[in-house]
Amino acid sequence: METMRQHKTGILCGLLLLTIAAALLSMSFGSTYLPISEILKVLTGGGSGSSYNIIMYARLPRMLAALVCGCALAVGGVIIQGVLGNPLAGPNIIGVNSGAGLGAILCSAFLPASVIAVPIAAFFGALGACTLVYTLARKTGASRMTLILAGVAISSILSAAIDGVSILFPEAALGANAFMVGRLAGVTTKALAVPAVLTILATVAALALSYELDLLTLGDEVAQSVGLSTKLTRGILLTLAAILCGAAVSFAGLVGFVGLMVPHAARFLVGNQHKYLILASMLMGALLVTVCDLLGRVLFTPYELPVGILLSILGGPFFLWLLFHQRGGRRP
């Protein structure tokens, strides 16, 4: 038991080091190369001139945005898969991201000057989508595949609503293309502040409820036998998932597949215990989005490929593999 705990702790430390390395490389490479020594100098209070401006006003906010986005979507995916008991579920697959996106774009249409209101609106949109999918699952007793198909239909409807709002309110549609594919370029520390705080708080709360999430995955009868209120716990956890997904979508747009892919990779490394699974997913999500954002900037210079497109290229085949894997009766 102690050996297993040490093994998982070692994996988490390794992921943390990889994430830090990816963050430094993300600030180093771009249209202008900056040595890591210069970056560390600026971050520790030194440096000046063009290097300082590039790091502090462009690359540092973007790197932080990638970390927050990856963490939020990955932990949100862990919660959604645990609550629904469905490894095929992910924030973008079942419409949670689209719900958050609809809330965000409606807020941009009616409250264009409010930065704080966008994450709140995205949260309510994500919560509405979460509640709708969970209600469908509870009321109909739908199979895993039926639930996913229903989620895809809900996601399509919400995406159509986003397009409709973009047409009816052209002001809100500024940057709509970048929003739909998911992009981190141009994110400011001001826009990132509230989502980052919400992500930290919701992740800490999810960790505090990791034992309860373990019980839920064993089934309602087992959870209730130890005195757990399954309805209340699921409601709290879905709210946390909505906060996380809404926070990410509010500044990054509809970044997909992080919440689907990362929890599966994390389970392979640290197992199913949610205390370790949430921590591993948090780090792996941050690492994945940071690396994909970096690759999107450097692989196609002078052009830039949005991070959401790269993640969809990776996530689409993964979802198809997972879909056929589940149909074959084998668990990932």
Position 262 confidence tier, pLDDT thresholds 50, 70, 90? very high
Residue 126 maps to a domain: yes
Residue 67 maps to a domain: yes
Position 113 confidence tier, pLDDT thresholds 50, 70, 90? low
Whether 231 shows a pLDDT value over 70: the answer reads yes
Residue 153 maps to a domain: yes
What DSSP element (H or E) covers 137?
helix 117-140
**pTM listed for this prediction:** 0.88
- 290 vs 126, residue with greater confidence: 290
> Taking residues 64-88, what's their average pLDDT?
91
Residue 24 maps to a domain: yes
Please answer whether residues 91 and 76 qualify as being in contact, where contact means their C-beta atoms are separated by less than 8 angstroms: yes
Confidence (pLDDT) at 328: 47
Residue 92's domain spans which residues? 2-327
Confidence (pLDDT) at 173: 60
Position 326 confidence tier, pLDDT thresholds 50, 70, 90? low
Report the amino acid identity of residue 22.
Answer: A
Work out how many domains the chain is built from and give that number.
1
How many Cβ atoms from other residues are within 10 Å of residue 40's Cβ? 13
> Taking residues 283-304, what's their average pLDDT?
91
Whether 330 shows a pLDDT value over 60: the answer reads no
What DSSP element (H or E) covers 157?
helix 144-168
Residue 332 maps to a domain: no
- Rounded to a whole number of angstroms, the CA Rg of the chain reads 20
Whether 327 shows a pLDDT value over 60: the answer reads no
Structure tokens at 278: 């949430």
> Taking residues 198-212, what's their average pLDDT?
95
Which of 46-50, 63-67, 82-86, 264-268 comes out lowest in average pLDDT? 46-50
Mind listing the pLDDT tens digit for each residue in 174-184? Answer: 555 667 778 88
Between CA 135 and CA 139 the distance in angstroms is 6
CA nearest to 197, candidates 305, 115, 94:
115
> Taking residues 175-199, what's their average pLDDT?
82
Within 13 Å, how many C-alpha atoms sit on residue 189's CB side?
Answer: 7
Say what angle helices 307-327 and 274-298 make with each other, to 10 degrees.
Answer: 130
- The CATH number assigned to the domain holding 131 equals 1.10.3470.10
Between CA 155 and CA 327 the distance in angstroms is 22
Residue 187 maps to a domain: yes
For the chain, percent of residues with pLDDT exceeding 90 = 31
Structure tokens at 79: 């919660």
Between CA 60 and CA 237 the distance in angstroms is 31
User: Residue 174 carries which DSSP code?
Assistant: T
User: Residue 115 carries which DSSP code?
Assistant: S
User: Residue 56 carries which DSSP code?
Assistant: I
Please answer whether residues 158 and 150 qualify as being in contact, where contact means their C-beta atoms are separated by less than 8 angstroms: no
Distances (CA, A) of 175 to 68, 178, 199: 21, 5, 24
Confidence (pLDDT) at 331: 42
Mind listing the pLDDT tens digit for each residue in 115-156? Answer: 678 888 888 888 888 888 878 777 766 566 677 777 888 888
How far is C-alpha 81 from the geometric centre of its chain's CA atoms? 13
> Taking residues 77-93, what's their average pLDDT?
85
| Continuous H helices in 29-116 | 36-43, 49-54, 60-84, 96-110
Residue 236 maps to a domain: yes
Residue 100 maps to a domain: yes
